[in-house]
Amino acid sequence: MATDETLPPTLTLDQQIEELAAQGMSMRQIAAFTFQPFMVIKGRINRLRRAERIPSARASKNKMASGSHTLTDMRTKYGIRTGTMADVAVMLTKEEINWVQANVPKGATLADFIALLIRDAAAEDSM
């Protein structure tokens, strides 16, 4: 079986991975967003890192550690009460839970799906 190293690169997927990684998405989030298996995304990200097309994982973690995307910032700087995934699930009706189950990409978490919904809504607002 061919490994990711022997496959020709899919430029559109690589470009999409570069853009999503630049937005701060994790490998699992990118896999869910692109509907690709996690191991495919992991291999491509590793190859893109070796080619220095995206920053290393260590550089990404340092950026997040110093950044403005933490739950503490949401609470203290912006006064947003964060709650939990359990809070979200309790607020949904059975029909809404069925809709979520039918629409969450395979392998994605509820948190991944909610983040995608928020990104989509924010993108529509900024148009």
- In tens digits, the chain (127 residues) has pLDDT values of 445 555 565 568 888 899 888 888 888 989 988 889 999 999 999 999 888 888 876 554 544 444 445 667 777 777 888 788 888 888 989 999 899 889 888 888 888 888 889 888 988 888 7
| Residue 66, both tokens | 């110093």
Q: Phi, psi (5° rounding) for residue 14?
A: -60, -40
| Residue 127, both tokens | 């148009």
Inter-residue contact 63 to 57 (CB < 8 Å): no
Cα distances (angstroms) measured from residue 57 to each of 6, 27, 48, 101, 118: 23, 10, 11, 31, 24
pTM for the predicted model, two decimal places: 0.42
